[in-house]
Amino acid sequence: MARNKVQFQKGISLTQFLKAYGTEEQCFDALCQWRWPNGFCCPHCGHDKHCNLAYRKLKQCNRCRRQTSITSRTIFDSTKLPLTTWFLGIFLITQDKKGISSMELARHLGLSYNAAWRMKQKLMQVMMERDQQYKLSGFIELDDAYLGGEHTGCKPGRGAKGKTPFVAAVETTKDRRPTRIKLSIIKGFRSSEISTWSKKHLCSGSMVISDGLACFNAVTEANCVHDKIVCGGGRASVEEPEFYWVNTVLGNLKSALRSTYHAIRPKYAQRYLAEFQYRFNRRFDLSALIPRLFFSLRTPPMPERLLKIGLV
């Protein structure tokens, strides 16, 4: 039986990672290269000539004499952690197929839980903002889903108390192979919500297939073609071949969340979905996940007070 090339790719081993980013100097040089791939450019005046200070990790512009930290105006802004700790945290988060909890991250890195939580939330914020730039196109499988289990004595299924609704969409090729996904928290499965979501995340002219949920008809407002298959609930909907990949993605997502986290608070749920989505959309080259994420670390600073506001 042939092996799945994506599933069995080598990625980057811990030994390779430590060889490339095992010291503070290596991490500093790599971060400089990723932040300024064409050479240093002063963020204050735009001048490209600078000098490195001898006793501090700062670059000083030769024109305006302003000093710039390698971590300023990035997600690392004001961090007190060594770059080696950040790099290792990024390695653990990106290379684990099912993700890693803040508690486990704290144990691996020797940090307090709060420090590990801030690190993970900041990196998931970067992943979320990066993928918001892309839209799905072509043939798209669409389904409704929920985070959270049923509570005793409460209404089951759609509309159940304490559940967080989200849209799951999978872009596939002409030969029905999955390429990218979108997992988006919404306020509810209403036409207005689906219309807004479609205009933001789907390209005009896409072919969208969904079940019989009426609100999905709103994808046509984003100039998409809509085809619906009424397949009922339960096993019939899961076994419907037209929804094979979206059901597979949802199954893998829920399995990963259950095995990694004890619970996910609704106001942070979009970040956890974004983490799974980010790794899935870049699964074809695991070894490039680390440099690709660092390229996105120019996300504006996120102090703890903003992290705790949440996204809903």
- pLDDT tens, position by position, 127-182: 998 898 899 999 999 999 999 866 555 566 566 677 899 999 999 998 889 999 99
| Section 214-236 average pLDDT | 85
Distance (Å, whole) CA 222 – CA 127: 25
- Which phi and psi angles does 194 have, rounded to 5°? -70, -35
Domain boundary among the residues 250, 265, 280 is at 265
Q: Do 56 and 173 share a domain, yes or no?
A: no
pLDDT band per the 50, 70, 90 thresholds, residue 231: confident
What is the span of the domain harbouring residue 210?
Answer: 139-149+156-265
Q: What's residue 155's pLDDT?
A: 60
| Listed residues 43, 70, 97: the one ending a domain | 70
User: Is 73's pLDDT higher than 70?
Assistant: yes
* Residue 19 or 303, more confident: 19
Q: Please say if the pLDDT value at position 11 is more than 80.
A: no
Distances (CA, A) of 309 to 53, 183, 302, 303: 37, 20, 11, 10
How much is the pLDDT for 312?
54
In this predicted structure, the answer to whether residue 100 has a pLDDT above a threshold of 80 is: yes
Does residue 216 belong to any structural domain of this protein?
yes
Q: Is residue 122 included in any domain, yes or no?
A: no
Q: In what order do the strands lie in the sheet with 225-228?
A: 178-185, 164-172, 139-147, 207-210, 225-228
Q: Please report which helix (H) or strand (E) contains residue 128, including its range.
A: helix 113-131
Could you tell me if residue 117 is inside a domain?
no
Q: Are residues 143 and 53 in the same domain?
A: no
pLDDT for 158 equals: 61
pTM of the model: 0.89
Q: Per the domain annotation, does 229 fall within a domain? A: yes
Shared domain for 143 and 251, answered yes or no, is yes
Residues 161 and 62 in one domain: no
Lowest mean pLDDT among 93-102, 190-199, 297-306: 297-306
Total structural domains within the chain = 2
Beta-strand pair 207-210/225-228: parallel
Q: What is the dihedral of CA 301, 307, 309, 311, to 10 degrees?
A: 90
In a domain, 93, yes or no: no
- pLDDT for 292 equals 81
8 A C-beta contact, residue 307 and residue 75 = no
Query: Residue 213 sits in a domain of what CATH number?
Result: 3.30.420.10
Residue 104 has pLDDT above 70, yes or no: yes
